[in-house]
Amino acid sequence: MNMLVDGEWRTDAYDSTNEEGEFDRSESSFRDWLDGSVAAAGEAPNSSEFEPESGRYHLYICRACPWAHRAAMTRQLRGLEDDISISLVQPERYDEGWEFSEEHPDPFHDYEYLREVYTDADPDYTGRVTVPVLWDKQEETIVNNESSEIMRMLDTAFDGNEFSLYPEDLRGEIDEIVDAIYDPINNGVYRAGFAGTQDAYEDAVDDLFDALDHWEEVLADQRYLAGDGERLTLADVAMFATLVRFDHVYHTHFKCNRRAIHEYPNLWGYTKDLYQTPGIEETVNMDHITRHYYVSHGDLNPTRIVAVGPDIDFTEPHSRDELPGGPPAALTE
């Protein structure tokens, strides 16, 4: 796989599976926090030189990427479109890594590749070149490239509109759910898709569907994941990013095909409910999602043919409004 090593681009630098054939996701590298943002339940606000000034920060994302999607959804739901600018990279990723294009240019530097943004921040950078990236236009550096942190800091550092996706009374539970769904679900689909052995694949698929069965039950009588299920939170943002991609890419391309999400009554209703929450639909680009996965992973899909199905409709009625709670008033008024 490709990455930067001491600031030089290498296409053979790391193997994404370990000796047991299990997919190994490496850690994100830029881990600064915006001033005043909160990292986890019970923690005091961070103090840093990165002041949360409107217009100072930019998100580089790919619409295909579920991790970048968490950051884009948080920005959109919290009404931060005027505070934080956003731009896309091309959905297809080849040997040169994430690329800008005429359609999706780098708004600040006119760079060809996202890796140039990384070497701008650190000329000797060693690591993967991933999205999302939270870029500081003033200091011309990367603040953070870890989505679980970016979503928390966008929610807690900026005022935005009048609700929080990470409310103080639910933070502990949100942290637990975000952690609990990471390994079997969010990263679980990748563990299945990139497994190098039958055992590693089957372990990942077992974990994934056990976890989906569990949340299917939880969602039978609550609208959202955290607390009493009445409030939309970052736990839902994290879950939705995987569920919305599931039937189009993970089911077929990553062989997560024991069941599709639209075959689970509650998970499917929940996915449609979130999709129809004001602000979310515009963050979903199924064309970019399918093109990215089917085209970029030549080892999994050598013909790079993009699967056309399934025929499902995220805008059809979901009936979840019979459950207590609902989208924050700030989004529906």
Interface pick for ligand GSH out of 9, 57, 60, 67 (rule CB under 6 A):
67
* Of 315, 235, 268, nearest in space to 73 by CA: 235
Residue 128 marked ligand-binding: yes
Q: Six-digit token pair at 194?
A: 């990139």
3-class SS of residue 44: coil
Residue 22 marked ligand-binding: no
CA-angle at 68, arms to 6 and 300, nearest 5°: 75
Active site residue 190: yes
Interface pick for ligand GSH out of 75, 115, 128, 320 (rule CB under 6 A):
128
Supply φ then ψ for residue 57, to 5 degrees.
Answer: -115, 155
Q: Six-digit token pair at 304?
A: 């790079």
Phi-psi region of 173 (alpha: psi -120 to 50; beta: other; left: phi over 0): alpha
Of residues 131-170, which lie at the interface with ligand GSH (CB under 6 A)?
131-132, 146-148
Q: In which element (H, E) is residue 65 found? A: none
The verdict on 69 binding ligand GSH (CB under 6 A) reads no
Catalytic residue among 190, 250, 270, 275: 190
58 or 128: CB nearest ligand GSH: 128
Active site residue 65: yes
The verdict on 290 binding ligand GSH (CB under 6 A) reads no
Tokens 């999709």 identify what position?
275
* Cα-only R_g, the chain: 19
Q: How many residues bind ligand GSH (CB under 6 A)?
A: 11
Least CB distance to ligand GSH at residue 148 (A): 6
How are beta strands 57-61 and 84-88 bridged, if at all? parallel
Least CB distance to ligand GSH at residue 149 (A): 8
The verdict on 92 binding ligand GSH (CB under 6 A) reads no
Catalytic residue among 60, 65, 201, 294: 65
Q: Where do contacts with ligand GSH occur on this chain (CB under 6 A)?
A: 28, 65, 67, 128-132, 146-148
Q: Give the residue ranges of the annotated binding site for glutathione.
A: 98, 128-131, 146-147
